[in-house]
Amino acid sequence: MPRISVNVDGTAFTDEVEPRLLLVHYLRDRLGKTGTNIGCDTSNCGACTVVMDGLSVKSCTVLAVQADGSDVTTIEGLADDGRWHPLQKAFHTEHALQCGYCTPGMIMASVGLLADNPDPSDEEVREGLEGNLCRCTGYQNIVKAVRTAAAEMHEGATR
Amino acid sequence: MIPAPFEYVRVGSVDEAVDALSEHGEEATLLAGGHSLLPLMRLRLAVPEVLVDLGRVDELRGVRDAGDHLAVGAMTTHHQVMSDPLVREHCGVLAEVTGEVGDPQVRHRGTIGGACAHGDAAGDHPACLLALDATMVARDPGGTREITAADFFTGIFETALAPDEVLTEVHLPKLDGSWGFDYQKFQRVKQAWAIVGACALVRREDGRIGEARVGLTNLGSVPVRATGTERLLAGAAAEPDALREAAAQAAEGTQPPTDSNARPDYRRHLARVLTLRALQNSLAS
Ligand SMILES: Cc1cc2nc3c(=O)[nH]c(=O)nc-3n(C[C@H](O)[C@H](O)[C@H](O)COP(=O)(O)OP(=O)(O)OC[C@H]3O[C@@H](n4cnc5c(N)ncnc54)[C@H](O)[C@@H]3O)c2cc1C
Ligand code: FES
Ligand code: FES
């Protein structure tokens, strides 16, 4: 079996994996990082989104062997020493979730979006999150939360 | 669902990839970004015995200025193509079309080579590459050959590539500032595939249309050119009536498919409407 080395949420892991193992199953079943959800069988919903080498990806559509040598951040690695990331805070304060199933993927896709565009308009947030489906919120508060977080991150950066 | 078991081969160069394909024959399948292949494997609609991963073949990544054309490596991701300065400067239409593919996560992984080799009539690249008269470069044990876009797409999920061939590059013409372009994609939701798409390229010449090219997505088993429209526009005045008359011919000679989204007559209607919009925007761009 191929052996892979992956850095996940700041910890280096080396494991033997079956080639057909999906990254999302590696994260959930092997590393116990069940914060990353699986919501579909068609690569559409984005619930499984993680950030891999700086870019948002759907971890259900990446083989664990393809992630060999990569740096992966999941929702579980986002908080800094127990302090929530601005996106986590904003999703809470802006009420950007109801059942919460889509939230880990929404937040990780937003991390990717804000890395690319630190100050997106409503329209740009909607476009940036077009790969993530939410069946509860109607998206309005998700857009608000991403913009609130962007503003906070901007303030933090210029202070 | 979980894909069926397969043997995994990681290659570091095109030569190694070609060798692996020759060694394993029909049982081997190339893996690029995996964003067409892995969904099929999860549904067990694709069950490759050997997966040859091109992910580490650096020579296949990136865009090169090759004088009169651009050479885009097959493993260049959609995200890289969209943001590449050379593509934006010389072939902006490909950046625009690529931006319409799927969603950001898909564009971070999917590649131009995979999008071509997959041969999906509903994919956004084929019609654009056809309108551009792009050339595909492929390598097999015997050497390298060039295939025009018109010859490359041969059927539903079928291309001119042989089982032991690796698509290495896509060559794009450089378009100067006299060319305007636009891609119109009609879809049910933003993330979805085109029900119909129209990609227009128009060369302006002193208030007239020097040349117009229109590629249509999902109007047949392969991408097609709206030849009736193109003929009427060659040398025509760049005026609304001329565009309308020409766009009315967009669906001539096509045999659109029927699926859960649309019947042929509706697809023909969309082809005419989208072609008109794409031509209007091309002239305005
Ligand atoms: C949710 C979702 C939405 C999408 N929406 C769109 C859309 O709107 N429009 C659109 O056009 N596409 C869409 N796609 C598909 C996307 O563009 C894919 O990236 C692309 O079709 C395939 O590229 P890939 O690199 O992922 O190829 P892979 O999936 O790795 O490979 C696809 C096929 O091409 C072959 N292949 C790959 N590279 C080579 C090569 N260099 N030489 C020879 N054969 C090769 C493989 O063997 C395989 O058969 C979507 C995909 C998903 C998951
Ligand atoms: S689980 Fe739905 S996109 Fe990955
Ligand atoms: S909060 Fe329920 S799916 Fe988004």
CATH number at A57 reads: 3.10.20.30
Q: How many residues does chain B have?
A: 285
Model confidence band, residue B285 (pLDDT cutoffs 50, 70, 90): confident
Band (A39; pLDDT cuts 50, 70, 90): very high
Q: Kindly give the distance from the C-alpha atom of residue B123 to the centroid of ligand 1, in angstroms, as a whole number.
A: 9
Say if residue A159's pLDDT is above 70. Answer: no
Enumerate long-range contacts of A14-18, CB under 8 Å, 24 or more apart: A17/A64, A17/A65, A18/B5
Residues B104 and B49: their CA atoms lie apart, in Å, by 30
B155 and B68 fall within a common domain: yes
Residues B165 and B188 in one domain: no
pLDDT of residue A132 exceeding 60? yes
Determine the 3-state secondary structure of B204 from DSSP.
Answer: strand
The pLDDT assigned to B55 comes to 98
pLDDT, residue A156, reads 75
Task: Supply the pLDDT for residue A47.
Answer: 98
| Cβ-defined contacts of A91-94 (< 8 Å, 24+) | A91/A142, A91/A145, A91/A149, A93/A145, A93/A148, A94/A141, A94/A144, A94/A145, A94/A148
pLDDT at A68 exceeding the cut of 60: yes
Q: Is B192 part of a structural domain of the chain? A: yes
A69 and A115 assigned to the same domain: no
pLDDT, residue A71, reads 98
User: What are φ and ψ of residue A111, in 5° steps?
Assistant: -60, -45
A131 lines ligand 2 (CB under 6 A): no
What is the pLDDT averaged over residues B253-270? Answer: 94
Residue range(s) defining the domain that contains residue B225: 179-284
| B204, B230: one domain | yes
Query: What contacts 24+ positions apart, CB below 8 Å, involve A32-38?
Result: A33/A8, A33/A9, A33/A74, A33/A76, A35/A74, A35/A75, A35/A76, A35/A104, A36/A74, A36/A75, A36/A76, A36/A104, A36/A105, A37/A101, A37/A102, A37/A104, A37/A105
User: Residue B186: inside a domain, yes or no?
Assistant: yes
Decide which of A34, A52, A76 is a domain's last residue: A76
The string of DSSP letters for B149-180 reads: HHHHEEETTEES--TT-EEEEEEEEPP-TTEE
> In this structure, what CATH number is given to the domain that contains residue B12?
3.30.43
Residues A62 and A111 in one domain: no
- Per-residue pLDDT band for B224 (boundaries 50, 70, 90) equals very high
Question: Whose C-alpha lies nearest to ligand 3, atom 4?
Answer: A134
Please report the residues numbered 90 through 109 in chain A whose beta carbons come closer than 8 angstroms to any beta carbon of chain B.
Answer: 109
Report residue A119: phi and psi, to 5°.
-135, 70
Domain count along chain A: 2
Q: Determine the average pLDDT of the residues in B99-108.
A: 97
Model pTM above 0.95: yes
Q: Domain of B165: which CATH number?
A: 3.30.465.10
Which pLDDT value is given to residue B207?
Answer: 85
Same domain? A45 vs A71 = yes
User: A76 C-alpha to center of ligand 2: Å?
Assistant: 17
Please indicate, yes or no, whether residues A91 and A109 belong to a single structural domain of this protein.
Answer: yes
Q: Are residues A14 and A69 in the same domain?
A: yes
Residue A149 lies in a domain: yes
Selected residue of B105, B109, B191 to mutate for chain A interface (largest A Cβ count, 10 A) = B105
Q: How confident is the model at residue A158 (pLDDT cuts 50, 70, 90)?
A: low
- Mean pLDDT, rounded, for B144-149: 98
Q: What residue numbers bound the domain in which A116 lies?
A: 86-158
Domain tally, chain B: 3
Asked if residue A81 is part of any domain, the answer here is no
Residues A56 and A17 in one domain: yes
Out of B172, B200, B223, a domain closes at: B172
Asked if residue B58 belongs to a domain, the reply is no
